[in-house]
Structure 1
Amino acid sequence: MAERTNQHHSAPRRVILAALVGTSLEWYDFFLYGSAAALVFGKLFFPSFASMTATLLAFATYAVGFVARPLGGIVFGHFGDRAGRKGVLVVTLVLMGGATFAIGLLPTYATWGAAAPILLVTLRFLQGLGLGGEWGGAVVMTMEHGSDERRGLNASWPQVGVPAGNLLAAGVLWVLNAVQSDAAFLSWGWRLPFLLSGVLVLVGLWIRFAVAESPQFAEVRTTAAAAQMPLVEVLVKHPRSLLVAMAARIGTDVAFYVFTLYVLTYVTGTVKLPRGVALSAVLIGSALQLVLIPLFGALSDRVGRRPVYAAGAIGAALWAFAFFPLLDTGNRAAIVLAVVVALVAHAAMYGPQAAFVAEQFAARLRYSGASMGYQIAGIFGGALAPIIAVKLVASTGTALSVSIYVLAALALTGVGLAFARDEPQPSLRLAEVAP
């Protein structure tokens, strides 16, 4: 009996580890591209353009990944709800890691001319496809393997993959920045983090193959309740759930990419400090989020998703108006403070977010519904946030306009939370959630 109990309790831990490692590697790949777009891609793949235009074009290729993510959510969500979660998560990890490794081998504009940025966009698109299918599957697997009373905590662990991946990407770049000259980094050093992805993916696959299929999906398959066309059913029968998930996500996404990605461009381009200053601040804030995200996820199990989520949104909206003045001081401690507090507020939103989104849909539609709500919002949130921020500062001459932009996006998140259904029933297995 004791052995059976231990096995019962070990399964969720194995699933959480597999999801955490996999999502960390996927987000390492995704953030690595974003950091490279901010630091080197403009010079390497768009050298014939002025500095500002080259940066915008580099961020535009970065945004392609966000455009691809909903398509990945559709394709992989369909198969995840029809055929199972586990196999899909193996495919998404291989797709993402392979595309990232290939970027590390890609010739620049100086060697291949216009073909280089075209291939860069293609590989970025493949990254987006993989990540679009990854998030929903990882969240659903951790939530469905655990107990109903710990859904917020369990589902928050794939979210930890975001700061873990960001931490790993920023850490690798920081080390290279410390040991290489600017010329060496621009010449070949930037390739090393992308090539490292190939080794990391092999580790992730080894862990992911050992995980069993979701018990809730097994129940769906046993009772022949699997949806024939999950996406169509979500759109037709559950539009409110989809819109709520999208609205709640957009503001969180805008705030995060302003606080962690646009900050690299702002500190190096506007404040005129070395790139290592901003990278160090993001590194420290991401390390703190490793602890805070599961804590806020667990808190949402006790007091509810919406109160914790709303507190984070209000905190981030207010801090957006202190964020840029602190950066403008040029003081390194003030810059670290700006990023760290911003990421604490983001963690309060991001901890309960996965369970909040996934709970809007029943098990038979959960992979597709959660993936679509999350990934479509990414187009309007993270994909556009760095580009809009660059244009706002260029046209207004002040970062106050970016703070107002963050405030508006988080107001939309508040609307999504207000229109969300009350906390769902204790068990969301085969039962339909009312549209």
Structure 2
Amino acid sequence: MSKIDIPTIDTRRVNPFRPAVASLIGTAVEWYDYFIYGLAAATVLGPLFFPEISSTAGTMAAFATFSVGFIARPLGGIVMGHFGDRIGRKSMLVTSLMVMGVSTTGIGLLPTYDSIGVWAPILLVALRFLQGFGVGGEWSGAVLMAVEHAPASRKGLFGSFPQMGVPAGLILANLVYLAVSGAVDDDAFIGWAWRLPFLASALLVIVGLVMRFTIDESPAFARVINNQEQQRIPIASVLSNHWRTVALVAGGFIGINAVAYVFMVYLLNYSTTILEVDRNLMLAFSMIASILWLVVTPLSSVLSDRYGNRRVLAVGSVVLCVSAISLFPLVNSTKPALIVGATMFVALGMGAVYGPMAALFSSTFPAAIRYSGTSVGYQVGSVLGGGIAPTVAGGLYAGWNSSMPITVYLTIVTISSLVCLSILMRPSRPAWSI
């Protein structure tokens, strides 16, 4: 591959806020798409696409289609990671956003079971798979563009910008869902209005694309090209020489991802159908907690720049574990004050852990295979964490008629992640220059 003109950029003069903000906006749009599906799975997709089975089984089937997106995420991570390490980070960010926009808009236009029969759930699964493929390559590209443009002393802060896209996308999804569900009655919402949040994705994607087309390629990738360090098959190098690191990254991400998706997806269904808490009230609580998550994410990252990832992530992981243990017991009280307190406690733990992860995971792989390495580790962790968490939570409750097994499950995964992060942050482990 010939040299490119990007290395001529004087990185001391590059404003790191521009790629960081572009990563934040684009990531927020992509996660809006992803969370809109999760909210719909918890409320309307079961009866619309799986009406031939019981209400409980229909909801489980809707959550299973939610998990299908996670199955596609490692594939998207591998494919986009390959091209992200071969031809550049920026092109993959644009590609992933376009894939997400097409698939999400397609879901909004999809006929239901009553119209086309069994083809409705089949097409729903296919579009959900496409969503997962798109988001599979999103995270690493956004994080690397932000981190690799950032000054050495502020990698944590700028790496947190795309991390903030997750709670920002959730807030946006909840706002749109609240607005639509509050504007019409239940019959209208189930009949047609549920489609509006999906169709709104088309406008949001245009905004994200404009932002991403205006940023420069990563200086770290430019140096890889200029020094002819690119690998012919980056994923092969990752799996042959860095598989232990991939396993630790995946394990370190499982805990927060499982807690996040139980909080963001399953809790809405559990509280409204089992505890009979008002749906709009739970959506409002989720939005309040997400705002706290959004605020804590950059604050914890600033602290990681000052005091180091090890201290901040250790404290954050302990908070996350304790909050996961207390979540369902507090929500089961059905008292609004305790419910909002429980969700905010979880949000505090998630923000404290999620913020510093971007810079930490980026530093665990050399630049030539960084997109592939971080993508595979992160996405495998997402499958084993959030990908199965709503389905596991639903199955545990159905089997035991109690939320206690869900609490035990969350405790196990958060402790396991704490162990993996502790190993990953050992001083003896190599840290590559970002």
**If the TM-score is normalised by the length of the shorter chain, which range does it land in?**
over 0.9
Query: Structure 1 pair 121/238, CA: closer, same or farther in 2 (3 Å)?
Result: same
* 1:316 alignment counterpart: 320
Partner of 1:240: 244
Q: 2:66 aligned with 1:72, yes or no? A: no
- Residue 379 of structure 1 is matched in structure 2 by 383
Q: How far is the alpha carbon of 1:321 from its aligned partner?
A: 2.7
Would the alpha carbon gap of residues 346 and 204 (structure 1) be closer, same or farther in structure 2, given more than 3 Å must change?
Answer: same
Give the conservation status (yes or no) of the 8 Å contact 2:294–2:351: no
1:326-374 CA-to-partner distances (Å, cap 9, x unmatched) read 2122122221111111111111110111112111101111100000000
Aligned to 1:271: 275
Q: Shift of residue 322 of structure 1?
A: 2.0
The equivalent residue for 2:5 is: none
| 2:29 corresponds to | 25
* 2:419 is equivalent to residue 411 of structure 1: no
Which is further off, 329-338 or 68-77? 329-338
Corresponding position of 2:433: 428
**Deviates most, 51-60 or 271-280:** 271-280
The superposition leaves residues 394-425 of structure 1 with CA deviations (integer Å, 9 ceiling, x where unpaired) of 11121111111000001110221122143577
In structure 2, the partner of 1:432 is: none
Corresponding letter in the other structure for 1:209: F
Name the CA distance, whole Å, in 2 between partners of 1:282 and 1:427.
37
1:297 corresponds to which residue? 301
Counterpart Cα distance in 2 of 1:130 and 1:369 = 17
Deviation at 1:180, TM superposition (A): 1.3
Letter in 1 for 2:90: K
Q: Alpha-carbon deviations, 1:155-174, whole Å to 9, x = none?
A: 11101000000000011111
Q: Distance in 2 between matches of 1:52 and 1:68?
A: 25
2:111 alignment partner in structure 1: 107
Structure 2: 5+ residue stretches without partners: 1-8
Q: Which residue of 2 aligns with 1:176?
A: 180
Q: Give me the TM-score of the superposition, normalised by structure 1.
A: 0.95
Instruction: Name the amino acid aligned to 2:105.
Output: F
- Of stretches 402-411 and 419-428 in structure 1, the one that deviates more from structure 2 is 419-428
Q: Indicate how the Cα distance of structure 1 residues 427 and 251 shifts in structure 2: closer, same or farther if over 3 A, else same.
A: closer
Query: 2-side partners of 1:64 and 1:393: how far apart?
Result: 21
Q: In structure 2, how many angstroms separate the alpha carbons of the residues matched to 1:414 and 1:323?
A: 19
Q: How many residues align?
A: 425
From 374, 391, 395, give the equivalent of 1:370: 374
Percent identity among equivalent residues? 44
5+ residue gaps in structure 1?
Answer: 430-435
Matches within 5 A, 1:80-119: 80-119=84-123
TM-score if structure 2 supplies the norm length? Answer: 0.95
One-letter code aligned to 1:264: L
1:327 counterpart letter in structure 2:
V
Q: Which amino acid in 2 is paired with 1:253? A: N
Q: 1:220 aligned to 2:230?
A: no
CA contact (8 A) 1:296 1:347 kept: yes
**Residue equivalent to 1:251:** 255
Q: 2-side partners of 1:329 and 1:147: how far apart?
A: 47
How many angstroms does 1:41 deviate by? Answer: 0.3
Give the letter aligned to residue 296 of structure 1.
Answer: S
